[in-house]
Amino acid sequence: MQLRSILIAHEAAAGSAAEAAPFFDEALVERGVSVQRWCRETTENPPPLDGVDLIAVLGGDGSMMAMLRALEFPKIPIYGVNYGRVGFLMNPRLPGADLAEMLTSQEMIAQAFPVLQATATLESGETVDFCAVNDFVLERASGQTVHLRTYIDGVLLNRYSGDGLVIATPGGSTAYSLAAGGPVVHPLVKGMLITPLYPHRPVQFHSLQFPILLPLSSRVRIEGDDLEKRPLRFVADGASTRNVRSIEIRDFGRPVHLLRSSDYEFIDTLVHKIIGRRAAPGEGARGGR
């Protein structure tokens, strides 16, 4: 499909992403592409996406998640350019002309990332819906550990005591879940991952001590106990809500499609951004002597 219209989105009105955006604009317009620009800091609501063929997000992983949420997890493919630190969901920076050439030549591959949906019931009885492409976290909101009951497809899995639980997508498996001891899940594996946060070890608590990878068709329900003493905080891709009583998590039913350059390899990215490469014997920081 020919690229005719693009939305270039970035969060801040100043900084490296904002400085690069006009060069992308100019290079794309020179190739006959209609360009819209959206800066979330200056205009909270995104422009209409009617007729937009592609969205380019300039920023880091946090910017990507914030933009996806603001755009309501669109069907339009998204190309992220890394102006953050890790940028696991993003692509490397390119000069404006090189990036415009790649986007218009369509030399890219698409990765489908599942989106999870959660319905949170607050202590007031109100229900609120959330979506996340990275992860949900149900965690303690005070100095007390949380007591949780976790059900998988209606079956009680565990009565848990500890700091909380992370429910992540494969795309989010390299974030908080990994830091808590969860596995990295390849993006071709479609599922959701439950990882405990600092579970209590004594056998009296019987707390979940290991992560569990579930099919994407699963439905997860988590209920809090003793909430007056042990209040809960619920975090959806970094956005937090307090006074939560329970949550129900399921597949949103529509993935987001993130574009990668044609030479992208997941394992290579994992090594480069997460594991790091160890020098071969005889090699030093400058390639050995």
Secondary structure of the chain as H, E, C letters: CCCCEEEEEECCCCCHHHHHHHHHHHHHHHCCCEEEEEECCCCCCCCCCCCCCEEEEEECHHHHHHHHHHCCCCCCCEEEEECCCCCCCCECCCCHHHHHHHHHHCCEEEEEECCEEEEEEECCCCEEEEEECCEEEEEECCCCCEEEEEEECCEEEEEEEECEEEEECCCCCCCHHHHCCCCCCCCCCCEEEEEEECCCCCCCCCCCCCCEEEECCCCEEEEEECCCCCCEEEEECCEEEECEEEEEEEECCCCEEEEEECCCCHHHHHHHHHHCCCCCCCCCCCCCC
- 98 is an active site residue: no
From the list 50, 53, 61, 237, the catalytic residue is: 61
List active site positions: 61
